[in-house]
A = this chain, B = another copy of it.
Amino acid sequence: MTSDSADRVWIYDTTLRDGAQREGLSLSIEDKLRIARRLDQLGVPFIEGGWPGANPKDVQFFWQLKEQPLTHAEMVAFCYTRRPGKKAATDPMLQPILAAGTRWVTIVGKSWDLHVIEGLQTTLDENLEMIRDTIAYLRTQDRRVIYDAEHWFDGYKYNPDYALKTLKTAIAAGAEWITFCDTNGGTLPHEISQVVQTVLKQLEPLSALNSQALPQFGIHTHNDSELAVANAIAAVQSGVRMVQGTINGYGERCGNANLCSVIPNLQLKLGYACIQSEALAKLTKLSRYVSEIANLAPDDHAPFVGLSAFAHKGGLHVSAVERNPITYEHLQPDLIGNSRRIVISDQAGLSNVLAKARSLGIDLNRQDPTCRQILKHLKDLESEGYQFESAEASFELLMREALGQRSLPFEIKGFQVHYDRVPDGETLTAKSLATVNLAVNGQDILEAAEGNGPVSALDAALRKALTNFYPEIETFYLTDYKVRILDGAAGTSAKTRVLIESSNGSQRWTTVGVSSNILEASYHAVVEGLEYGLMLQAKALVLS
């Protein structure tokens, strides 16, 4: 992979290695393979897969990739410079790196004298030799090398001469890329610019002297000062041509540079080429896919790719943005595969309802009196504490009901929940039991189930009762459950809003229930969740 266009920026994804350092994030080999293939499809040129040897998982990951290699991307193995006092050729740490069988290897080394002396407890000269020996050895083994200069900005601040020596050593040994790392995440954008510009100038004569090609440069930033994206951009504007980062900004502490923000900023605002335009239009999907695999709730407020990133409230706003998007949108959401969302809130006007109906594929016109009915019903429910901003499935059911398009797949006649708790010596015996009474196609059903707590017992009883009639219910599961007390000062009689997100494996939908009684609110949301899922299923049958 060579630079053939002056305004290309190489994206280097490290979600699988540095991203996986995030507290609470754990990826299986299968997870890592799936993410790698999606990144490959997106056209990310470098994907750092892990540190083979640091743990058995990473060794196996690279081994599996050798069986079924990626199509376009270079898979990169990551490793430290060899250990002090050893030889690269015989340091066992480097053997799994070679065994991983990648064309590219990233070697990270120390730039900061303090870390050499206090961290590695070796001499400054030995650190230089570790850098040289490791890279030179990998070159003899036909590997191409990216050199990550750890703690670059801190090191350069405290001892610029030594820091510069480490880079010259890496370049002389054959590194093709040098990455400036802001490992602790404390550097500000103006410092990034100053240091990168100065260092690139300081290294220029090297090329002439050594009659060797100067490598290219990259940036690796962390978000400890909420500046990772700005720092990456500042470095590119100062001359680097590779950005290392992660999907959704995952990473230890406050995370790494978020590629979901770096890429659109560089490509759509600054005109650099990072990935194909068609690939860019899949960025939102990729972001949600990765959060799904990582089992982390997607950040609705994430720039560019979040559910709320292009959300609009209130009447005037909505009509303005529909007339001319640039009035309230900094870029076109579809360029990154996101979409404009008209938020159904208590500021909702008629145009919101119409826009929402359109987006749901419901034909409705302003003159239709149903339109005002829906709006009135919406406002009444909202004043009771309902909120449809995130519960779009409940809103669709409400709309279809007004239009006479809602067919109830079942009817609940009543339910009972019983909870019994008896301390039994040291342990606790508690039992939740729910009984439901419902009708499907005129047939009465009585069913009971136990659960972890009263709500899960109720959920279990409903499913048990319905599965015979609607076997697809077995594929539905709850993916999120949120409870919000609306007027906390009313104590345990406060109004409660429950939001439930359900999935059938390929689609997700959210329903809402409100009551001064948490069981009642949960019941409402659970029931609408099941109903909506069945409606989706029925629609799919009609279309197929």
Residues of A within 8 A of B (CB): 21-24, 26, 28, 30, 114-115, 118-119, 154, 183-190, 223-227, 229-230, 233-234, 237, 252-255, 258, 261, 264-265, 269-270, 295, 297, 300-304, 306, 308-311, 313, 316, 320, 323-324, 326-331, 343, 345, 387, 389-390, 412-423, 430, 432, 451-456, 458-459, 477-485, 487-494, 496, 500-501, 515-520, 522-523, 526
A304 contact set on B, CB distance < 8 A:
224-226
Indicate whether A189 sits within 8 Å of B189 (C-beta atoms), given known contacts A295-B489, A516-B453.
Answer: yes
Smallest CB separation, A61 vs chain B (Å): 16
Interface of A is mostly: mixed
Smallest CB separation, A64 vs chain B (Å): 14
A295 and B253 form a contact (CB under 8 A): no
- Give Cα distance in the complex from A320 to B495, angstroms: 43
Q: Give the residue among A189, A264, A413 with the most B Cβ atoms within 10 A.
A: A189
Which of the residues B21, B226, B452, B515 comes within 8 Å of A516, measured between beta carbons? B452
A492 and B478 form a contact (CB under 8 A): yes
A482 and B485 form a contact (CB under 8 A): yes
Indicate whether A254 sits within 8 Å of B306 (C-beta atoms), given known contacts A316-B119, A488-B482.
Answer: yes
Indicate whether A226 sits within 8 Å of B419 (C-beta atoms), given known contacts A188-B269, A493-B456, A518-B454.
Answer: no
Which of the residues B229, B308, B483 comes within 8 Å of A483, measured between beta carbons? B483
A416 contact set on B, CB distance < 8 A:
418-421
- Give Cα distance in the complex from A125 to B261, angstroms: 39
- Copies assembled: 2
A454 and B453 form a contact (CB under 8 A): no
B419 and A519 form a contact (CB under 8 A): yes
Which of the residues B269, B456, B518, B522 comes within 8 Å of A186, measured between beta carbons? B269
Which of the residues B188, B331, B418 comes within 8 Å of A233, measured between beta carbons? B188
- Give Cα distance in the complex from A515 to B303, angstroms: 34
Which of the residues B22, B330, B515 comes within 8 Å of A185, measured between beta carbons? B330
Indicate whether A23 sits within 8 Å of B492 (C-beta atoms), given known contacts A412-B423, A483-B518.
Answer: no
- Give Cα distance in the complex from A430 to B412, angstroms: 14
A225 and B261 form a contact (CB under 8 A): yes
Smallest CB separation, A78 vs chain B (Å): 16
Smallest CB separation, A96 vs chain B (Å): 18
A258 contact set on B, CB distance < 8 A:
226
Given A252-B313, A253-B301, A414-B422, 12 additional A-B pairs, CB 8 A: A154-B326, A184-B329, A186-B331, A227-B230, A253-B306, A413-B422, A414-B423, A455-B492, A455-B518, A459-B492, A482-B488, A492-B500
Considering only CB atoms, which chain B residue lies closest to A269 in the complex? B188
Which of the residues B225, B420, B517 comes within 8 Å of A265, measured between beta carbons? B225
- Give Cα distance in the complex from A115 to B226, angstroms: 31
Considering only CB atoms, which chain B residue lies closest to A193 in the complex? B190
- Give Cα distance in the complex from A320 to B520, angstroms: 50
A186 contact set on B, CB distance < 8 A:
269, 330-331
B492 and A453 form a contact (CB under 8 A): yes
- Give Cα distance in the complex from A420 to B458, angstroms: 12
A458 contact set on B, CB distance < 8 A:
492
A489 and B493 form a contact (CB under 8 A): no
A345 contact set on B, CB distance < 8 A:
23
A418 contact set on B, CB distance < 8 A:
416-419
A478 contact set on B, CB distance < 8 A:
491-492
- Give Cα distance in the complex from A517 to B483, angstroms: 13
Indicate whether A24 sits within 8 Å of B390 (C-beta atoms), given known contacts A229-B226, A253-B308, A330-B184.
Answer: yes
Smallest CB separation, A335 vs chain B (Å): 12
A487 contact set on B, CB distance < 8 A:
28
A23 and B459 form a contact (CB under 8 A): no
Smallest CB separation, A113 vs chain B (Å): 12
Which of the residues B24, B119, B485 comes within 8 Å of A327, measured between beta carbons? B119
Smallest CB separation, A160 vs chain B (Å): 17
- Give Cα distance in the complex from A183 to B422, angstroms: 58
- Give Cα distance in the complex from A12 to B42, angstroms: 42
A309 and B492 form a contact (CB under 8 A): no
B430 and A421 form a contact (CB under 8 A): no
Considering only CB atoms, which chain B residue lies closest to A115 in the complex? B327
Considering only CB atoms, which chain B residue lies closest to A416 in the complex? B420
A24 contact set on B, CB distance < 8 A:
300, 387, 389-390
